[in-house]
Amino acid sequence: MTTATTAKTGTLPPIAPGLPFFGNSLSFMRSPLGFLRTTRERHGDVVRVAIGPLHVTLLSHPDLVEDVLVTRNRLWQKDRFLQSNLRPVLGDGLLSSEGDFWRRQRRLAQPAFHRDRIAAYGDIMVAHASRLAGRWRDGETRDVDKDMMRLTLEIVAETLFGAHVGDHAEAVGHALEGVRGVVTDPLELFIPVLKRFPTPARRRFDRAVAKLDTIMYGVIDQRRKSGEGETNDLLSMLLHARDEDGSRMSDKQLRDECMTLFLAGHETTALNLSWTWHLLSQQPHVAAKLWREIDDALADRPATMADLPNLRYASHVIAESLRLYPPAWSIGREAREDVEIGGYRVPRGGQVWFCPWAIQRDSRWFDDPESFRPERWEGDLAKTLHRYAYFPFGGGPRFCIGQAFAQMEAVLLLVTLARAFRVEVLRKPKVVPEASITLRPKHGLHVRLHARRA
């Protein structure tokens, strides 16, 4: 596969057939995941689709993903969906800012995510998971998707802001639901101008953002006034971080970064765990192997960071779950100028999407791609695989800053809960993946819990 330089001329990518006026919007909205996969199978690795008012070029070859995310990343910026839907909530936080401003913020925040720093959070993660396991009852049915959201939110709150904000976790979770409702409204996808009108959904959105603002500014203010020196949480690191010129972050920058980390830092990991429970419930032999590892590594004591090297199968379970159900199921970019890619021209302002969901289930890169087989990661697959055939955390300079945090957290929470319970997913409501901002189980994940130990 060849990639090329920037270009003013050249052919536009072939367009997938669609309906007059609606283009491919209805097929996309009916089943975004199915649509993206069948479009690649029918039309190849570079194809244009019409979704709402936008023409989007789908890129389905790892070479092309690498070209955009890594090799020529400076030709691209975040896509229109992110700019118009998430920026109003996240402001100029790390996920949505661009250029020199983003570079500076990333440099300031990076030390807070250093492996040595996040290692200190292992005990907090295990303590929260143990408390949840203590509340679970043998034989009860519950929505563990909600449990995972709450658990990871509490963990981000405590590690990021210190214990004081734990009380706000519920209010934040509630406000985030209000934000999500409007960001994923299909009507606004078609008629973007609706965003400017005070519809009931928009008013709910504004109230939710205002609530989040009050909480975030309150926490920042409280910490500034406390006069506390540098403590061990991320907020403290951000407050005390200095750029090369000695400057510190303003309250608005801190608010944007905190909001971003709150949002990006809990839902993705929660979903990774929800999908893992779903997959384990379908594959009892994988669950059995996981328990053997947990029992050998931990016997009767809680996990610590030091146990991670002995929990390799658990980390393969998490990696394989991220392959089949990547919470960030699609990543998008917008061309800053005319770009030639995969032999076609994407004009300035053109949108490209590449979809971990589809690429990570492509039989060109994975044997038996639909099967949940954590064992596939035991050999040297990670070394031989194209680097961008598996990219649940993105890549290039904009790769996920929380990757190490998330991987550590997912393994620690999984083993802490699985040590105590077997999770049996109920047949009803059916588990259906919903490609919203993130990939979620549409009706939650309703399970029956079975205690493993008295």
| Phi, psi of 332, deg, nearest 5 | -130, 155
Residue whose CB is less far from ligand HEM, 60 or 269? 269
Interface with ligand HEM includes 76 (CB under 6 A)? no
* 8 Å CB contact between 407 and 315: yes
With the C-alpha atoms ordered 187, 360, 444, 130, is the resulting torsion angle positive or negative? negative
Residue whose CB is less far from ligand HEM, 16 or 165? 165
The site string for ligand HEM over 283-322 (x = CB under 6 A, - otherwise) reads: ----------------------------------------
Residue whose CB is less far from ligand HEM, 278 or 398? 398
Residue 141: CB minimum distance to ligand HEM, A: 26
Q: Which positions ≥6 away from 226 have C-beta within 8 Å?
A: none
Residue whose CB is less far from ligand HEM, 43 or 128? 128
The site string for ligand HEM over 327-366 (x = CB under 6 A, - otherwise) reads: xx--x-----------------------------------
Residue 402: CB minimum distance to ligand HEM, A: 2
Interface with ligand HEM includes 104 (CB under 6 A)? no
CB atoms within 10 A of CB 40: 21
**Rounded Cα–Cα distance for residues 35 and 175 (Å):** 31
Q: Which residue number is nearest to ligand HEM in terms of Cβ?
A: 402
CB atoms within 10 A of CB 349: 12
Provide the edge-to-edge strand list for the sheet that holds 421-425: 141-143, 446-451, 421-425
Residue whose CB is less far from ligand HEM, 205 or 388? 388
DSSP 8-state assignment for residue 85: I
Interface with ligand HEM includes 261 (CB under 6 A)? yes
Distances (CA, A) of 256 to 68, 102, 250, 252, 376: 26, 12, 10, 6, 39
Residue whose CB is less far from ligand HEM, 390 or 393? 393
**Rounded Cα–Cα distance for residues 287 and 284 (Å):** 5
Q: For residues 395-424, which are near ligand HEM according to CB under 6 A?
A: 398, 400-402, 405-406
Chain residues binding ligand HEM by CB under 6 A are 94-95, 106, 260-261, 264-265, 268-269, 272, 327-328, 331, 392-394, 398, 400-402, 405-406
